[in-house]
Amino acid sequence: MDIIETIKDQIANNTILLYMKGSPNAPQCGFSARASQAVMACGEKFAYVDILQHPEIRANLPAYANWPTFPQLWVKGELIGGSDIVLEMFEKGELQTLIKDAMAE
C-alpha cells in the first residue's frame, strides 16, 4: 500500500487519531507530551501513530495534511491542529466537547 493510502486509511479508520513523537505514555517531545496529555484528559480512547517509528509517515503527512509540524490531532477525518491549538481548545473546554461528540456518534 502506498504511504498516502496508509495515512488516509489510518485517518478514516480511527475516530480520534494523534500523530506524535513517541507514545502517550512515553512522549519524545514536549509538544507531543502536552497534546497527548490534553487528549487523554478528555477521557476517551484514541489511536496514535509514533512518527519516529514510521519515517515514511513523518515525511509524507505534512504535505498530505498541509500542516508542517507534529503532533497532529485528527478527529472524524478532520485535522484539528497541533499542540498549541489542542491546548487552547482544551483550556476553553472545546476539545472535551469535540472528542465526546465524536465518540458518541
Residue 31, marked binder? no
Residue 50, marked binder? no
Residue 90, marked binder? no
Residue 70, marked binder? yes
Residue 34, marked binder? no
Residue 42, marked binder? no
Under 8 Å between Cβ of 102 and 15? yes
Locate all alpha helices (DSSP H) within 1-105, ordered by sequence.
Answer: 3-13, 30-41, 55-65, 83-92, 94-104
Instruction: Compute the C-alpha angle 54/50/74, nearest 5°.
Output: 110
Q: Which residues make up each annotated binding site?
A: 21, 29, 58, 70, 83-84
Q: Which residues make up each annotated binding site for glutathione?
A: 21, 58, 70, 83-84
